[in-house]
Structure formats: structure tokens, C-alpha cells
Structure 1
């Protein structure tokens, strides 16, 4: 095989290695932070009990392998498939939590949040879980944990939560799952 063939093989091998961070949010390739949402995994259907068609329970969240220097965590559940008539930017926040202490590595669905954690008002107008309830078709839901370099995210609201969390994050992990209402 000529040198050009070897060069092509080397490029293909390197391209295959670039997938090592696949499944991580953009900009977090190589990120060690892991998120688990009990009851479903990446690409799976969200069970009805966590939605408006069921008991609208909040699932359990747990995370591991936060980077050194993590001072707090933030959590979010976002739907980016919202019809423009419902919200002009097509984004619906179902749950936003900030200021989870760095020692915390899980939030149980049926338990109170740890001391210090704050639920930010979501698109339902309340600082609480609001489960998936897509009006028109199957929607994808992005469950995220942010490892933050600050103890407190400060005075954030629905409109600036993600920008502030991204700006202060050391790492982000996500689970993307979907739900479609049964008709």
C-alpha cells in the first residue's frame, strides 16, 4: 500500500476516535460527569407516571464523577420541541433547580430537595416539577446536571437559567428521552 493509503487509514482511525465524547452536550466531549435518571435511559420512552398522563411524579436523579473544583450543581429538564404558538422560542422548561451543594449526588423524586437547593419557576409558573405533557406529537426531553464552579448561581429566572448555568459550568451531563401522549 502506498503512503497515501496509509495516510487515509490514519485519518479514518483518528476520525473514529473523535466519537469518544458522543452523547455529551456540545463542548463537553471527554467530560467524565455522568447522569442517571431512574426509570428510563438515553433514547428510551419516559414512563407515564412521570408525565401529565400519570401521577406527574418527579423521577430520581443521581450523578457521579464530578470534576475537581465543583462547588454546586444545577438540574434542568427541557423540551425543545414545543410549538411556536405555545412559546415563541420553542423551548419549555419543566424543572429548574440551582444551588445543590457539592456534597449532594442525588435527588430522590418523592423527597424534599436538599437544604440549600432552590427550584426556579418553570414554564408552568411554579418552582416545582412539571412532567412531560406534549400537546401535539412525540417530544424529546433533555435531563441535565451541571457541575458548577460557584456555590450559588445567584438570582436567575426562567429566561437566563441556562445561560448562567452554562457560563459557570465545569461539566454537563444529560439524558435525552422522549414521550408522546396516548390518544
Structure 2
């Protein structure tokens, strides 16, 4: 079985995401640690979204899309992106990280990391659906990191 691990020194899986990473409280992207990347990986993709937004706004809210992350990346420092990686457009209609911003109650945020057998050829303003369509049939493995955030 192929394993891929995504962790954060800022919060435990299933734990509370610190306030400074929230959209209205600093909007810093959290530090991430990546390990056990499969040998044949050509690039990594990270998608952060909020499935709990479905109840409040009628859709899964996209907070961060990052692709062409080099496969040798082991750490993504706070408020940065790996060299040569590309950020896409969020549901805030912005390029780059958009932190948690639940409109009603505590929400669960999901950071999904995909190991791909290709690099993506997408424009900078691409969306989650553009990325998801491009990675079909190219995912070697995937993992996720979840955190909670309350308004």
C-alpha cells in the first residue's frame, strides 16, 4: 500500500486550527509537513476546502488550491508556498490562501494532498474543478489533514 502523510505542527488532525490562520484573523497559511511521498511522484497537489459550508452557502467552499508542488517538498513553512508551485483561485475570488471563515458555527476544514504521476499544465487562475479534472487518472495516492475552526 502506498502511504502519503500530511501533518501540521500548528494543529493535530481533527484538532482546532489556531485563529491566526483564519481569513479575518491574519489569513496566514498554516505550516505543513509532508512525508512518505511515493517514489514515482512527479508533483503534489493540495486542496483545502470546507464541506460544512454546504449548509450555510449551498456548496463546498474552496479555501486554497496549490499544484505542481515539487515531490521532494517536506515542509511548507507558515504563510508560504513551495518554490515553483502554483496557486489557484478560491471561492473568495482570490488567488492564494483564504483561511477558515465559517459564517455560522464551527466547521471542519479538509486539506487534501494528492501525489501525481504528472505535472499539471494549468493557468494560475485555475479553479478546483480545473485541477480535479486534470488529476483524474493521475493520482498515485492521497491523504488528508482535517482541522476545526469556529467563528
Query: SS where residue 94 of structure 1 aligns?
Result: strand
Is 1:120 matched with 2:88?
yes
Query: SS where residue 130 of structure 1 aligns?
Result: coil
Is 1:173 matched with 2:135?
no
Is 1:59 matched with 2:27?
no
Q: Of Structure 1 and Structure 2, which has the larger fraction of its residues in helix?
A: 1
Which sections of structure 2, spanning at least 5 residues, go unmatched?
A: none
Q: TM-score, normalised by structure 1?
A: 0.73
The 5 Å alignment of 1:87-106 reads 88=58, 90-106=59-75
Give the aligned length.
148
CA RMSD, aligned part only?
A: 1.8
Is 1:78 matched with 2:49?
yes
Q: TM-score, normalised by structure 2?
A: 0.88
Please tell me whether the aligned partners of residues 76 and 96 of structure 1 are also in contact (alpha carbons under 8 angstroms).
Answer: yes
Cα 1:176–1:169 change in 2 (3 A) is same
Deviation at 1:84, TM superposition (A): 5.5
Is 1:162 matched with 2:129?
no
After superposition, the C-alpha distances for 1:66-95 in whole angstroms (9 at most, x for unaligned) are 112001111111101114663x4x211100
**Structure 1: how far apart are the matches of 2:131 and 2:84?**
17
Q: Of Structure 1 and Structure 2, which has the larger fraction of its residues in strand?
A: 2
Please tell me whether the aligned partners of residues 123 and 158 of structure 1 are also in contact (alpha carbons under 8 angstroms).
Answer: no
Please tell me whether the aligned partners of residues 117 and 138 of structure 2 are also in contact (alpha carbons under 8 angstroms).
Answer: yes
| Structure with greater contact order relative to length (CA < 8 Å, sep ≥ 6) | 2
Greater Rg by CA:
1
The 5 Å alignment of 1:42-53 reads 42-53=13-24
Is 1:36 matched with 2:3?
no
Residue 107 of structure 1 aligns with which residue? 76
Is 1:153 matched with 2:151?
no
Is 1:139 matched with 2:107?
yes
Deviation at 1:125, TM superposition (A): 1.1
